[in-house]
Structure 1
């Protein structure tokens, strides 16, 4: 029985492929060991948590800015409509001062008036009817301190008006059926 010996090029390709595979496995092992050391390092984990908190804060700030921007756009549209209505009305004498349109000044968001617990609770319940919110989101929206907001959300949670999602950090809150009943039959949820 005769056995054919393959060409030397084929043998060389097989040996090179084997060597490349062994080299790749060695590099993979080194990278895996290096990444395992980083994840077990407490300084690395604390740095990761710090950056995660920073990203969450940035997201909340961006959302707050978006809300303020939407409010200012609505106010500008209202001003334009009132100017157009004034021009549509017949005028006996045109004054040059009225024809000038003043540039829109940035309007600061008014601070929420002081309310008792029920007023603030109903406002917060109205906010979270459309989507889950973190206590930081709620804090920025109602303009109260972190401590005030935390106490409020804890009380709402203990009374069963909101449900806390413990699986996410920071916790998110969602309205319950009892909370919807307390809110009553409002036509539209409160938007910030």
Structure 2
């Protein structure tokens, strides 16, 4: 049996094509590993998480400021009315504002804190972090509390948004009773 050997040009072209293919695959793997390494750098992920926490904290502070702006204490209104009635032309001296310390939440049993949280979310939906800051408890405590309220059917969890928001259900309103005004932070 005779075996026919192809021309040397065909053999050379097959060898060159093989070498070019191996060279191309090597370059492709180098580029892919470089781009994957840059995207998965842990320092980028930790930096992203840090900024995300900062944004959440800023949002909570902005919400707290909005809540403080809506409250106008009665003594301030009376002072303004007194100044308008007297029509005093001398400049009004403004006393320096003293920082108001927020009273610490007293220790309550589950029912007391649950009713307090239900009162907080009667006016608007709140995240677990908002509730945590308002009641002054740990993240774990607040998470367990909200889970229990959700399982009891007293609150609804909106899972379409991240972080989840909670709002009171009709069962929660019934548990809360006939409070004249909702509890505010």
TM-score (norm 1): 0.59
Q: In 2 relative to 1, CA 169–49 (structure 1 residues): closer, same or farther, beyond 3 Å?
A: farther
Larger radius of gyration: 2
Q: In 2 relative to 1, CA 178–106 (structure 1 residues): closer, same or farther, beyond 3 Å?
A: same
Mapped to 1, the partners of 2:139 and 2:75 lie a distance apart of 32
Gapped runs of 5+ residues in structure 1? 1-36, 85-99
Aligned residues: 140
SS at match of 1:147: helix
Partner of 1:144: 137
Partner of 1:59: 59
Mapped to 2, the partners of 1:102 and 1:51 lie a distance apart of 38
Q: Deviations over 1:36-57 (max 9, x none)?
A: x89x934598455553332122
Cα deviation, residue 139, structure 1: 0.8
Asked whether 1:160 is paired with 2:159, we answer: no
User: Hey, which bits of structure 1, 4+ residues long, moved more than 3 A?
Assistant: 40-53, 65-71, 78-81, 100-104
Q: How does 1:25-104 map to 2 (within 5 A)?
A: 41-43=39-41, 46=45, 48=48, 50-68=50-68, 74=73, 77=76, 80=79, 103-104=96-97
Cα deviation, residue 104, structure 1: 4.5
Partner of 1:113: 106
Mapped to 2, the partners of 1:144 and 1:75 lie a distance apart of 30
Gapped runs of 5+ residues in structure 2? 1-34, 83-92
Mapped to 2, the partners of 1:145 and 1:191 lie a distance apart of 20
TM-score (norm 2): 0.61
Query: Which of these residues, 160, 182, 185, is aligned with residue 189 of structure 1?
Result: 182
Contact 1:68 1:109 in 2 (8 A): no
Q: Deviations over 1:26-84 (max 9, x none)?
A: xxxxxxxxxxx89x93459845555333212210122224445655x527617848xx6
Mapped to 1, the partners of 2:105 and 2:130 lie a distance apart of 15
RMSD (CA atoms)? 3.2
